[in-house]
Amino acid sequence: MEILVASSVGTLTAAGVYLILRLRAFPVILGLALLSYAVNLFLFSTGRLAIDAAPILNPYGEASYTDPLPQALVLTAIVISFGMTAVLVMFALGAYLEAGDDSIDVESPDPAEKESGA
């Protein structure tokens, strides 16, 4: 189970970083969403990966439980990441409608390169 969760977190992180490095607005938004999913999965796995275990301490002394705090953090993070994704989509849609293209233009901060035409 741990190998599956670890490889899922790694795959989501790698795909998210790859998409963030694209020069289009929509893949960047998808990359940020994938990174937030990777973080949520990582936070969820910190609460102990136990199958059919209650998220509370058992008064009879059984040690099989899962920590409820990471579950609450993940639920909060899901809501926040959904809201931020919606805001980013609206920004990207507004930029697309105004400019007619969703490419991200990266200009050089050095003014000497602009004058020399490099």
Share of the chain above pLDDT 70, in %: 75
Of 21-30, 44-53, 96-105, the least confident: 44-53
Domain map (residue ranges) of the chain = 2-104
Q: CATH topology for 2-104?
A: Helix Hairpins (1.10.287)
State pTM to two decimals.
0.73
Q: What is the pLDDT of residues 9-24, one digit of tens each?
A: 999 999 999 999 998 8
CA distances from 118 to 104, 108, 109 (A): 19, 10, 13
Which of the four pLDDT bands, split at 50, 70 and 90, describes residue 65?
Answer: low
The answer to whether 103 touches 85, Cβ cutoff 8 Å, is no
Tell me the mean pLDDT in the region 95-116.
74
Helices first, then strands: H and E counts in the chain: 4, 0
